[in-house]
């Protein structure tokens, strides 16, 4: 065996980056989270060749000041916490200060940003984690555009793990949908391959059900019921003000996978066995074995009641009082189903059958039934926006705000 050596800084960065970035969709996740944390009202995600070519995320958030652009790419540099104790009151999705340096270590990045307090913007280029001396002032609107190109260009083994364009795009769409439904007040748009029309677009009107319709189509939304508060408040000696909201499907709409269990804690998408089990318990005997409902379950809880710092991707959390959380969800789901009108009206059965058949076909298209290609699924999604239409909303425009998000990179 060879002796023990400390790895070179470049190697350490690349290994560490692998914890955060394993495919194009994880880049999209981190960039969207940063846009949300920056208080954006709109965010546009542009993808070239399933993320292999480029991933460009533009927001109208607070922007980054000229002084801070370099620091943003430094390891463990964050504006979101200053001490570990701050995690107990965390209001943001980010806190590690790892996303940008990790992405930068394995790609070529162009950043264009303007902070709300500055009259000019800043452009910067970073390659393989190293800043290129190409920082200059630019003219642009307040907000940020980060373009990530040549992902894993310096990690040939990783490039090989990137799947086909359609598979990567599917993962990216899943990531986007996770945020779209829980941040309905933000207008999201997802573009692919420089096409004019977005493949996904939301109203940003604050209504979760509208966001679900934008993401999945109206046939699914018709099968959903809004989560009620439990009949009697959950008796909890520990947790004050725990709340459960969102939508769950009627027992008729189920899937063979857990893919449509969207579970959130304080608007952070999490994979939680505890929440999944509680949802299932809430359905009781209404769910057949091996079937899973479509749910968007949003749990709101004191930040001090959870630990978000247990997974490098922040996908998992732990609860300090899991039993109370479990019961709150079970109660909310079961009360909602108890009060819901789940029996179709007599005489409507034929109509229902036809609608079900159509909805079933649509679902198969959307979620890739056995004989439907991924691209067709995306096409179907696109068509569903065109046909169902997303009514134009007149937005109140602040002075000096053009109202539209300029998603082209600054010259």
Ligand X SMILES: Nc1ncnc2c1ncn2[C@@H]1O[C@H](COP(=O)(O)OP(=O)(O)OP(=O)(O)O)[C@@H](O)[C@H]1O
Which residues lie near ligand X (CB under 6 A)? 30, 33-35, 37-38, 59, 61-64, 72, 77-80, 94-100, 144
Shortest Å distance, C-beta 68 to ligand X: 7
Residue 332's binding partner out of Mg ion, ligand X, none, with CB under 5 to 8 Å set by partner kind: none
Nearest alpha carbon to residue 293 among 275, 309, 305: 275
Q: Closest distance between ligand X and the C-beta of residue 20, in Å? A: 7
Give least dist CB 40 to ligand X, A. Answer: 7
Residue 334 contact partner, candidates Mg ion, ligand X, none, CB within 5 to 8 A by sort of partner: none
Question: From the CB of 114, what's the least distance to Mg ion, in Å?
Answer: 19
- HSE-CB at 42 with a 13 A cutoff on CA atoms is 18
Distance CA 199, CA 322 (A): 39
Shortest distance in whole angstroms from residue 186 CB to Mg ion = 16
Site for Mg ion in 18-47 (CB under 5 A): 34
Size of the site for Mg ion (CB under 5 A): 3
CB of 370 to ligand X, least distance (A): 38
Least CB distance to Mg ion at residue 271 (A):
19
Partner from Mg ion, ligand X, none binding residue 50, C-beta < 5-8 Å depending on class: none
What separation in angstroms does the CA of 328 have from each of 230, 233, 300, 302? Answer: 7, 8, 11, 14
Binding letters toward Mg ion, positions 97-136, x by CB under 5 A = --x-------------------------------------
Q: Could you give the CA distance from residue 80 to residue 104 in angstroms, rounded to a whole number?
A: 19
- Give the chain as a 3 state SS string: CCCCCCCCHHHHHHHHHHHHCCCHHHHHHHHHHHHHHCCCCEEEEEEEHHHCCEEEEEECCCCCCCCCHHHHCCCCCCCCCCCHHHHHHCCCCCCCCCHHHHHHHCCEEEEEEECCCCCCEEEEEEECCEEEEEEEEECCCCEEEEEEECCCCCCHHHHCCCCCHHHHHHHHHHHHHHHHCCCCCCEEEEEECCCCCCCEECCCCCCHHHHHHHHHCHHHHCCEEECCCCCCCCCCCCCCCCEEEEEEECCCCEECCCCCEEEEECCEECCCHHHHHHHHHHHHHHCCCCCEECEEEEEECCHHHEECCCCCCCCCCEECCHHHHHHHHHHHHHHHHHHCCCCCCCCCHHHHHHHHHHHHHHHHHHCCCCCCCHHHHHHHHHHHHHHHCCCCCCCCCCCCCCCCCCCCCCC
At a CB cut-off of 8 Å and minimum separation 6, what does 360 contact?
none
Q: Which residue in 50, 61, 63, 94 binds Mg ion (CB under 5 A)? A: 94
Q: Tell me the per-residue interface mask from 212 to 241 with Mg ion, x by CB under 5 A, - otherwise.
A: ------------------------------
Cβ closest to Mg ion, residue 34 vs residue 384: 34
Looking at the Cβ atoms of 81 and 225, the one nearer to Mg ion is 81
Name the minimum Å distance from CB 128 to Mg ion: 20
Residue 293 partner contact from ligand X, Mg ion, none using kind-dependent CB cut-offs of 5 to 8 Å: none
Which one, 17 or 359, has the nearer CB to ligand X?
Answer: 17
C-beta of 72 vs 181, nearer to ligand X: 72
Give the nearer residue to Mg ion in terms of CB position, either 81 or 364: 81
- For ligand X, the closer of residues 145 and 202 by Cβ is 145
Q: Closest distance between ligand X and the C-beta of residue 73, in Å? A: 8
CB under 5 to 8 A by kind: which of Mg ion, ligand X, none does 78 bind? ligand X
Whole-number minimum distance, CB 240 to ligand X, in Å? 27
Rounded to whole angstroms, the Cα distance separating 384 from 390 reads: 10
72 contact choice in Mg ion, ligand X, none (CB below 5 to 8 Å, kind-dependent): ligand X
Show the site string, 305-324: x = touches Mg ion by CB under 5 A, - = not: --------------------
Nearest to ligand X of 268, 292 (CB atom): 268
State which residue, 65 or 382, has the beta carbon closest to ligand X.
65
User: Which residues contact Mg ion (rule: CB under 5 A)?
Assistant: 34, 94, 99
């Amino acid at each position: 065996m060879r002796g023990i050596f400390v790895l070179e800084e470049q190697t350490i960065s690349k290994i560490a980056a692998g914890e955060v970035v394993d495919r194009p969709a994880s880049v999209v996740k981190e960039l969207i989270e940063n846009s949300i944390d920056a208080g954006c009202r709109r965010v546009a995600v542009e993808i070239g060749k399933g993320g292999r070519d480029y991933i460009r995320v533009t927001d109208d958030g607070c922007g980054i000041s000229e002084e801070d652009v370099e620091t943003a790419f430094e390891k463990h540099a964050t504006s979101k916490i200053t001490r570990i104790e701050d995690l107990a009151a965390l209001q943001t999705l980010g806190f590690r200060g790892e996303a940008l340096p990790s992405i930068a270590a394995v790609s070529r990045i162009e950043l264009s940003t303007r902070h709300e307090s500055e009259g000019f913007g800043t452009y910067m280029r970073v390659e393989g984690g190293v800043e290129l001396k190409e920082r200059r002032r630019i003219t642009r609107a307040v907000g940020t555009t980060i373009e990530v190109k040549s992902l894993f260009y310096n990690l040939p083994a990783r490039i090989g793990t990137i799947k086909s364009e359609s598979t990567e795009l599917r993962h990216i769409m899943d990531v986007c949908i996770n945020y779209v439904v829980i941040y309905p007040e933000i207008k999201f748009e997802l573009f692919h391959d420089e096409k004019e029309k977005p493949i996904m677009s939301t109203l940003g009107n604050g209504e979760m059900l509208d966001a679900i319709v934008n993401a999945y189509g109206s046939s699914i939304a018709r099968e959903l019921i809004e989560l009620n508060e439990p009949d009697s408040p959950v008796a909890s000696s520990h947790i004050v003000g725990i709340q459960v909201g969102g939508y769950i499907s009627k027992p008729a709409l189920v899937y063979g996978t857990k893919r449509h269990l969207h579970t959130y804690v304080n608007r952070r998408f999490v994979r939680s066995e505890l929440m999944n089990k509680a949802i299932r318990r809430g359905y009781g005997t209404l769910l057949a074995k091996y079937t899973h409902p479509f749910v968007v379950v949003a749990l709101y809880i004191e930040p001090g009641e959870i630990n978000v710092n247990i997974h490098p991707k922040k996908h998992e959390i732990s609860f300090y009082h899991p039993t109370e959380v479990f019961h709150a969800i079970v109660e909310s789901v079961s009360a909602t189903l108890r009060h819901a009108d789940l029996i179709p009206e007599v005489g409507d059965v034929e109509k229902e059958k036809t609608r079900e058949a159509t909805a079933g076909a649509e679902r198969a298209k959307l979620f890739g039934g056995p004989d439907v290609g991924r691209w067709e699924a995306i096409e179907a999604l696109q068509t569903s926006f065109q046909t169902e239409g997303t009514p134009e909303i007149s937005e109140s425009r602040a002075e000096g705000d053009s109202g539209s998000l300029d998603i082209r990179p600054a010259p």
